[in-house]
Amino acid sequence: MTSFEGFSASDFDVFEEKKWGSHAFNRERLEVKLKLTSLGNELKEYLPDRLSGLEMGMTEGRPSIFNQHKVQDLTLFFFRNEKERRALGGILDRTKSIADIVQDPAAHHRHIIMGVRVGYSGVEAGLWLHRDAWVDWKNAVQRCGEHWERDKLSEVIEDLPESIRYGRGQGLSADAVPSKEVKPEEILGGFGNAEPWTVFGERFGRDDPVLGSGELSGKLVGLFAALVSLYSFIGWRRDNDFHELKEAIKEQKEKATMRFKSFEPGDQVRVLKGLASGHLGVVDSLERKGVVKVRLGTMVVSLKIEELGKP
């Protein structure tokens, strides 16, 4: 495994606005992606226990449909594992149309994450919560319906280091306020209209010496460790369920099992979600865990059972 040795000025320059939509800089962005991967592997090795089961991911480094054909930055992120995301998938999709999902298919927008973003101005890192991650932020809102839980949130925020800032919007601006100065009411009320992010973290300007050395990984391990309590308070889990979603997930799983049994190889089906939405296909095979292989013309694609319907 290649060790992380720091970022250079050229790593930030590749995110200059005039380069966002150009494929001519794919190679340079790949170099940044490789450095972020090395950094992520080091972080994952030392993540605190509450974060150790998270999966690592990375945003797209080439202009494509997945980033509206422009690469403004690259984000390394850690979020709940595939099994947990699958369990929540149908519930999260209820509030979004197929057009919305195609317009913004990024999985990390729908879950609370610990992340590191590299852009033209430098690096931002910490806890990130997109307004579409409503299962998580509404969980915190409902939890704080009881005054003693709101007091707990106040204590969690008060215990954060002075260096951790709070911001809403695209990320942490240069004038982001210390998190200790923000009242729980403001935080809870701002989740749904954050346009689009709520962030607790630190911002490192591109000229900060720590970015050019391997010391950054140790700095970020300390940052993530400091944010564990806040992550645990906000994020939905079966043992932190203020939505009472466990029964909904169980019901969803039972319905999926029933639907899975209603398909057989050779059946004609219609794709209901994703880029192939509306197309007719033929069931090629039924796989384990509710996955169906569907033949669309000359291609065979794997789709979840909830993405299919009868023609």
pLDDT per position as a tens digit, 112-157: 999 999 999 999 999 999 999 999 999 999 999 888 999 999 999 9
Q: Do 26 and 165 fall into the same domain? A: yes
CATH of the domain at 282: 2.30.30.30
Burial of residue 24 (CB within 10 Å: 0-12, 13-18, 19+) is: exposed
Top pLDDT among 273 and 215 is at 215
Find the domain containing 299 and state its range.
259-309
Q: How many CB atoms lie within 10 A of CB 79?
A: 22
Please give, one letter per residue, the 3-state secondary structure of 65-128: HHHCCCCCCEEEEEECCHHHHHHHHHHHHCCCCHHHHHHCCCHHHCCCEEEEEEECCEEEEEEE
Is 80 exceeded by the pLDDT of residue 39? yes
Please give the average per-residue pLDDT across 70-91, as a whole number: 88
Q: Do 157 and 211 fall into the same domain? A: yes
Lookup: tokens for 70? 């422009």
Q: Do 138 and 280 fall into the same domain? A: no
Q: Do 164 and 286 fall into the same domain? A: no
Q: Are the CB atoms for 125 and 115 separated by under 8 Å? A: yes
HSE (side-chain half, CA atoms, 13 Å) at 247: 3
Please give the average per-residue pLDDT across 66-77, as a whole number: 94
User: Inter-axis angle of helices 134-143 and 215-234, to 10 degrees?
Assistant: 60
CATH of the domain at 18: 3.30.930.20
Q: Do 190 and 299 fall into the same domain? A: no
> What's residue 253's pLDDT?
53
d(C-alpha 206, C-alpha 17), whole Å:
16
Q: Work out the pLDDT band at 7, boundaries 50, 70, 90.
A: very high
> What's residue 96's pLDDT?
52
- The tens digit of pLDDT for each residue in 47-68 reads 888 888 899 999 999 999 888 8
Mean pLDDT of the chain: 88
> What's residue 89's pLDDT?
74
Please give the average per-residue pLDDT across 249-254, as a whole number: 51
Top pLDDT among 264 and 152 is at 152
Is 60 exceeded by the pLDDT of residue 162? yes
Q: Do 114 and 164 fall into the same domain? A: yes
Top pLDDT among 169 and 298 is at 169
Q: Do 150 and 267 fall into the same domain? A: no
186: in domain: yes
CA dist 169 to 71, 114, 141, 253, 261, Å? 18, 17, 19, 35, 45
71: in domain: yes
> What's residue 86's pLDDT?
80
Instruction: Provide the domain count of the chain.
Output: 2
Q: Work out the pLDDT band at 290, boundaries 50, 70, 90.
A: low
Lookup: tokens for 76? 């390394």
Is 50 exceeded by the pLDDT of residue 101? no
Is 90 exceeded by the pLDDT of residue 285? no
Is 80 exceeded by the pLDDT of residue 30? yes
Top pLDDT among 166 and 246 is at 166
Question: Phi and psi (nearest 5°) for 173?
Answer: -80, 170
Q: In the block, which residue shows the tokens 């050229």?
A: 10
